[in-house]
Amino acid sequence: MLTKKGKYGLKAMIHLAGIQQGQLVSASEIAEKHNIPRKFLDNIFMELRNAGFVVSRKGKGGGFTLARPAEKIPIGNIIRALDGALAPIACASKTDYHPCEDCIEDDCQIRLIMLDVREAIANVLDNRSLADSHAIEKLIT
């Protein structure tokens, strides 16, 4: 399930995708426009900056911008950076695999189903870029 951190992070990234490349937007502006608690957004931006998705400049006229073009940022990578693995259970994860304590994986029907779920989620999120999401947002607003 997408957490609030993931949802707010996506909102902020889609906002940045809608501005001219290299233009800076303050966290305050994004927080106010999208009803995101400012301190929470500051923490999200720190994670996005550490993951290489945004760059920032402090001081007057400072703010945030995308680190690379929106079409080169898959939605799945943003969610992984903020929320972790896409898989609904750890034994189905490719990036954060952990075996279950209560089953034998090769025979576990739940794991087999969740592997399919993980693949379906990854298929959608890894094949949709931030640019695609911004275009969709423009159509519905």
DSSP for 33-73, written as a single string: HHT--HHHHHHHHHHHHHTTSEEEE-STT-EEEESS-GGG-
Mean pLDDT of the 31-46 span: 97
Structural domains for the chain: 4-140 (1.10.10.10)
The per-residue pLDDT for 140 is 39
* Residue 108 DSSP one-character state: -
Place of tokens 């945030």: 64
7: three-class secondary structure by DSSP: helix
Mean pLDDT of the 43-51 span: 97
More confident site: 7 or 101: 7
End-to-end CA distance of the chain: 25
Can you give the pTM of this predicted structure?
0.87
